[in-house]
Structure 1
Amino acid sequence: MSALDAPRAALAELTRPEGWVLGVSVAFLLFLLAALLTGALGPTYFLFLVGLAGMYALLSFGLNAQWGFTGLINFSVAAFFGIGAYGSALMTASGSPIAGGLDPLVGLVVALVVAFALALLIGIPTLRLRADYLAIASLGLAEVVRLIVLNERWLTNGSAGVRGIPGFFEGWPVLSTFPEAMPGLRLEVVPGSPILLETAFWQASLNVLLVLGFAGATFFVLRRAHRSPWGRVLRTIRSDEDLARALGKNTYSFKMQSFVLGSLIMALAGVFYTHLNLYVGPGDLDPITTFYAWVAVILGGSGSNRGALFGGIVIVTIREGTRFLNDVALPIDPAPLRLLLIGVVIVAVMRYRPQGILPPQRDLIWPSAVDGGGAPETPDSGVRERKGGGGDE
């Protein structure tokens, strides 16, 4: 058997949307590679974009665990993102008004504990009620958290934000000194377009390593959870909560678990953003963050972990790609185009792929039964026939 047989078989089993996503992704990677080699895109900025895409993927994973799995409408994505960001920043930053100077791992734990407590606080009175009560409460929570961050200067430094945030690996052996210890490199693949790999590049590579670890672990946990009996209960609740309750399931408990899990993942995204950007302010809790997360989940496919990952990458591509339009002479201001493009994407998805680009069927049922691949194999005879045959012998 040729070594290429397995990849060819895997490509042959792809559905049409999966093949389309793969083709677009490969073309986009080739475009980025060409931009890097020609100097149009700096390597440090490229790694920053990768980190930002990982952050939005985490936000999408968190919302997918709530809405995609259980049908919980959460409009406070920015609030839990801000809790994670400020929780870590206030524990680790030299400019923190309350603590500061602690190890980033302490900031990570504090951020997750506060997010856990806040999720319980908002979930206990609302999750026993209809879904719209959670939507209203979460919408109010997002605004309350933003106003506290903006006005309580003794706690959050107010509109000035928190500065002096260290890198996540500050104080770690080897990794803390890795960027400074690495030599500066100058690569020139295309004549006249040198690529400089300096301290900032090596620091950004550590950030990419961190977000890949966070996102990879989250994807693995959610994938296993979605296929488990726990995940099947969540999907039943999303489809028909009364049916799940009639089957003897404590739907309130399952919804609480799903809500807390998603909130912790959103806080984890905030922790990463803090140590990526090295600054956090009230503007980072803007409601547009919640909007972006919802668009990513709807675009990728509600309940699909692969879809949430793809949607987060698309959002960053549109959000950051429009910045390069400033270098092009256009008769209009290109800044508002990002929301226009996102609106066009939403309309197109709702028109042609209302279930999302990568719906979760591939993750949940037999791959051969997806997109006309045929039904799973069934036994030639029933159980009674087999028993009868065995008795005759």
Structure 2
Amino acid sequence: MSLLDDPKAAFADLTRPEWWVLGVSVAFLLFLFVAMLTGGLSPTYFLFLVGLAGMYALLSFGLNAQWGFTGLINFSVAAFFGIGAYGTALMTASGSPIAGGFNPLVGLAVALVVAFVLALLIGIPTLRLRADYLAIASLGLAEVVRLIVLNERWLTNGSAGLRGIPGFFVGWPVLSTFPEAMPGLRLEVVPGSPVFLETPFWQASLNGLLVVAFAGGAYLVLRRAHRSPWGRVLRTIRSDEDLARALGKNTYSFKMQSFVLGSLIMALAGVFYAHLNLYVGPGDLDPITTFYAWVAVILGGSGSNRGALFGGVVIVTIREGTRFLNDVALPIDPAPLRLLLIGVVIVAVMRYRPQGVLPPQRELIWPSAVDGGGTPETPDSGVRERKGGGGDE
């Protein structure tokens, strides 16, 4: 049921896990909104969290297109993320050792092209093999990319990283001067706790709109692809590749398409991160990024686009929420609690919801099939009777 067509019926059609996710999400947003109004949370930092959540959602979307759709085990999420980040940084950063000074749109194009070529190079020799070989090759790829970034100073500036990366909208008409042109605002909902909306806030709002555009576009593309005949072939390959091959499908070609699509979305996340953080370094290619993406997909539900989005938000909530524990007097160091909480989440999901919080089954149904589409017509006669009738005529 479409939310726009009939909101009441759409809410009535929600399952218990969907109600739970909706309730928790609304409660969490209200909590953040109250925290901003009372001065407990900076609006600029809130928009920064939105950007991080969108970035992890993009990483989850990319991995979901590979593992969730096709069953391709890719442990090089951090590598393609780094390719996207370094690709745009080397083209746009003032401190770039090889280029620099180009428009961010050029950096975006270069990053996606390099990610496309790299996905082809790793996919051509490995996608004909079984899943475990791809896992080993992708794990090696991630380490190779990280070591190149760390040691090839002439290309990547080595361990110093790349600084001087411009915002994504630098050089654009209107948007490039929007943060400086907007007036500073002072809101005081709670006496003694004013909230300031100044240039950093307006800059962060542009970043928020950018990641919403990236993540929204990726979601719509994957949603359409998942329900299409192409998506059905991918699900068949994941379930039984031999069956898909027996049905005449070129499984190698379909796996390559899925692998490239997911890699491009991961690189897109890296492009956004570079222009959000305005700095990239070898530490951004740490394997923990790959681990976070896998946890997000498993938590949300393998093959579920909604689940990948939800999982990315949960990862950012745990990752950034534990930072506030430093303000609480605890007998232990709160920093390691981040991985501890993520481990607890994995155990709980595997124990109580092994299919994920939002499994993909409901995403595979076209709304027209259940919303006003009616039921398929039942033929008056079978195939044999129709053939027989035609022969008599």
Instruction: Name the TM-score, length of structure 1 as normaliser.
Output: 0.94
Q: Measure, in 2, the Cα distance between the counterparts of 1:34 and 1:5.
A: 31
On the 8 A contact 1:18/1:358 being kept in 2, the answer is: yes
Deviations 1:42-80 (A, max 9, x none): 000000000000000000000000000000000000000
Quote the offset at 1:189 in angstroms: 1.1
Quote the offset at 1:373 in angstroms: 17
On the 8 A contact 1:61/1:262 being kept in 2, the answer is: yes
Compare 372-381 and 330-339 and name the one that shifted more: 372-381
Quote the offset at 1:340 in angstroms: 0.5
Deviations 1:242-276 (A, max 9, x none): 00000000000000000000000000000000000
Q: Measure, in 1, the Cα distance between the counterparts of 2:358 and 2:8.
A: 21
On the 8 A contact 1:63/1:293 being kept in 2, the answer is: yes
Aligned-partner SS, 2:20: helix
1:1-393 to 2 correspondences below 5 Å: 6-365=6-365
Q: Measure, in 2, the Cα distance between the counterparts of 1:287 and 1:3.
A: 39
Flag the 1:374–1:382 CA change in 2: closer, same or farther, 3 A: same
Aligned-partner SS, 1:196: strand
Flag the 1:58–1:364 CA change in 2: closer, same or farther, 3 A: same
Q: Measure, in 1, the Cα distance between the counterparts of 2:365 and 2:3.
A: 28
Flag the 1:14–1:209 CA change in 2: closer, same or farther, 3 A: same
Q: Measure, in 1, the Cα distance between the counterparts of 2:39 and 2:33.
A: 10
Flag the 1:165–1:4 CA change in 2: closer, same or farther, 3 A: closer
On the 8 A contact 1:368/1:376 being kept in 2, the answer is: no
Flag the 1:245–1:329 CA change in 2: closer, same or farther, 3 A: same
Flag the 1:325–1:129 CA change in 2: closer, same or farther, 3 A: same
Runs of 4+ in 1 over 2 A off after TM superposition: 1-8, 365-393
Deviations 1:9-60 (A, max 9, x none): 1111001110110011011111111111111100000000000000000000
Flag the 1:240–1:2 CA change in 2: closer, same or farther, 3 A: closer
Deviations 1:117-136 (A, max 9, x none): 10011000000011111100
Deviations 1:335-393 (A, max 9, x none): 01010000000000000100000000001147899999999997798667899999999
Flag the 1:194–1:146 CA change in 2: closer, same or farther, 3 A: same
Aligned-partner SS, 1:45: helix
Aligned-partner SS, 1:284: helix
Q: Measure, in 1, the Cα distance between the counterparts of 2:384 and 2:58.
A: 50
On the 8 A contact 1:369/1:376 being kept in 2, the answer is: no
Deviations 1:306-350 (A, max 9, x none): 000000000000000000000111111100101000000000000
Aligned-partner SS, 1:5: coil
Gapped regions of structure 1 (runs ≥ 5)? none
On the 8 A contact 1:91/1:99 being kept in 2, the answer is: yes
Q: Measure, in 2, the Cα distance between the counterparts of 1:102 and 1:361.
A: 44
Quote the offset at 1:3 in angstroms: 12
Quote the offset at 1:302 in angstroms: 0.5
Flag the 1:360–1:25 CA change in 2: closer, same or farther, 3 A: same
Flag the 1:388–1:185 CA change in 2: closer, same or farther, 3 A: farther
Deviations 1:159-215 (A, max 9, x none): 100000000000000000000000000011111111100000000000001000000
Aligned-partner SS, 1:194: strand
Aligned-partner SS, 2:370: helix
On the 8 A contact 1:164/1:279 being kept in 2, the answer is: yes
Quote the offset at 1:7 in angstroms: 2.4
Aligned-partner SS, 1:340: helix
Aligned-partner SS, 1:41: coil
Q: Measure, in 1, the Cα distance between the counterparts of 2:117 and 2:155.
A: 18
On the 8 A contact 1:57/1:312 being kept in 2, the answer is: yes
Flag the 1:196–1:121 CA change in 2: closer, same or farther, 3 A: same
On the 8 A contact 1:149/1:282 being kept in 2, the answer is: yes
Q: Measure, in 1, the Cα distance between the counterparts of 2:372 and 2:155.
A: 58
On the 8 A contact 1:61/1:305 being kept in 2, the answer is: yes
Instruction: Name the TM-score, length of structure 2 as normaliser.
Output: 0.94
Flag the 1:119–1:196 CA change in 2: closer, same or farther, 3 A: same
Q: Measure, in 2, the Cα distance between the counterparts of 1:202 and 1:269.
A: 21
Question: How many residues are paired up?
Answer: 393
Quote the offset at 1:6 in angstroms: 3.0
Q: Measure, in 1, the Cα distance between the counterparts of 2:38 and 2:280.
A: 33
Q: Measure, in 1, the Cα distance between the counterparts of 2:368 and 2:108.
A: 42
Aligned-partner SS, 2:188: strand
Quote the offset at 1:5 in angstroms: 10
Aligned-partner SS, 2:371: helix
Flag the 1:186–1:375 CA change in 2: closer, same or farther, 3 A: same
Quote the offset at 1:8 in angstroms: 2.2
Q: Measure, in 2, the Cα distance between the counterparts of 1:370 and 1:134.
A: 39
Flag the 1:209–1:161 CA change in 2: closer, same or farther, 3 A: same
Gapped regions of structure 2 (runs ≥ 5)? none
Deviations 1:142-175 (A, max 9, x none): 0000000001111001010000000000000000
On the 8 A contact 1:97/1:156 being kept in 2, the answer is: yes
Flag the 1:2–1:359 CA change in 2: closer, same or farther, 3 A: closer
Flag the 1:120–1:23 CA change in 2: closer, same or farther, 3 A: same
Quote the offset at 1:240 in angstroms: 0.1
Flag the 1:3–1:205 CA change in 2: closer, same or farther, 3 A: closer
Quote the offset at 1:84 in angstroms: 0.2
> What's the % identity of the aligned pairs?
92
